[in-house]
């Protein structure tokens, strides 16, 4: 069994604007709908859990999308808290061995081929797997608007989502990080903390996270192309 968990309780502070960015439209739909649909369109995905902010006034109220259940819960102060809340709110029949795909509601351009590759990699590996791409630009360390150093980039990847792990293992790892007061910025970090080495699956670099207005313009182009 495979379920999706979408952290969607962010405020979009880096984006600015009057509404949380996950509700901004690109190619005629809110970003969150693109993200949800990309996951629920996969025949192996049974349903989705969306973690929303307590005062979310824009959630369209879907109980299903593409004929599959869309459940919701209240997220938390950090992205990791929202993911943990979503994992805990999944239905009881989605047991500890359920493969969970955690995907940012702000990433509207997930492609089917990438999702297929991620599922294939994660299903066969207890350490799980994430989508990402190797760094292809020279890295500079910045300070006061100037170059402080050039950092080695060999072996460095950008981490995307979805990130795919078994429900029980990921729930325990995120709970342990939270109990230790450690804020992890992605699910793989929580699994790394407990000694696991998730697989890296190279995915398309246009699986962008909409963080700033320039990203929305690019998403509009990509989704409309």
Kindly report the three-state secondary structure assignment for every residue of 83-116. Answer: HHHHHHHCCCCCCCCCEEEECCCCCCCCCHHHHH
CA 165 to chain centre: 12
The nearer residue to ligand CTP, 125 or 208, going by C-beta atoms, is 208
Task: Report the nearest approach of ligand CTP to the CB of residue 81 (Å).
Answer: 6
Which among 7-15, 39-47, 115-123, 132-140 is the span making contact with ligand CTP, rule CB under 6 A? Answer: 7-15
Separation between Cα atoms, residue 77 and residue 85, nearest integer Å: 11
Task: Report the nearest approach of ligand CTP to the CB of residue 150 (Å).
Answer: 27
Which among 10-18, 65-73, 87-95, 170-178 is the span making contact with ligand CTP, rule CB under 6 A? Answer: 10-18
- The residue assigned the tokens 């029980």 is 168
Q: Which residues bind ligand LQXTBERG (CB under 6 A)?
A: 79, 104, 159-161, 185-186, 209
Alpha carbon distances (Å) from 116 to 3, 99, 130, 170: 14, 13, 12, 20
Residues that bind ligand CTP (CB under 6 A): 7-15, 22, 51, 75-79, 82, 104-106, 209, 211
């Amino acid at each position: 069994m495979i379920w999706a968990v979408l952290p969607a309780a962010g405020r979009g502070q880096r984006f600015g604007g009057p509404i949380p960015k996950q509700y901004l439209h690109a190619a005629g739909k809110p970003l969150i709908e693109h993200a949800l649909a990309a996951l629920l369109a996969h025949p192996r995905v049974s349903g989705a859990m969306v973690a929303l902010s307590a005062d979310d006034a824009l959630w369209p109220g879907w109980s299903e999308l593409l004929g599959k259940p869309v459940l919701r819960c209240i997220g938390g102060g950090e992205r990791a808290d929202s993911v943990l809340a979503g994992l805990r709110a999944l239905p009881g029949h989605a047991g500890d061995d359920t493969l969970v795909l955690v995907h940012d509601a702000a990433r509207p351009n997930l492609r089917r081929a990438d999702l297929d590759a991620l599922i294939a990699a994660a299903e066969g590996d207890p350490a799980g797997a994430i989508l990402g791409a190797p760094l292809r630009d020279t890295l500079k360390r910045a300070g006061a608007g100037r170059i402080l150093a050039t950092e080695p980039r060999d072996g460095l990847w950008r981490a995307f989502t979805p990130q795919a792990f078994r429900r029980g293992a990921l729930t325990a790892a995120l709970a342990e990080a939270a109990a230790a007061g450690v804020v992890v910025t992605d699910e793989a970090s929580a699994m790394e903390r407990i000694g696991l080495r998730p697989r890296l699956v190279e995915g398309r670099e246009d699986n962008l996270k909409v963080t700033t207005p320039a990203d929305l313009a690019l998403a509009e182009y990509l989704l409309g192309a």
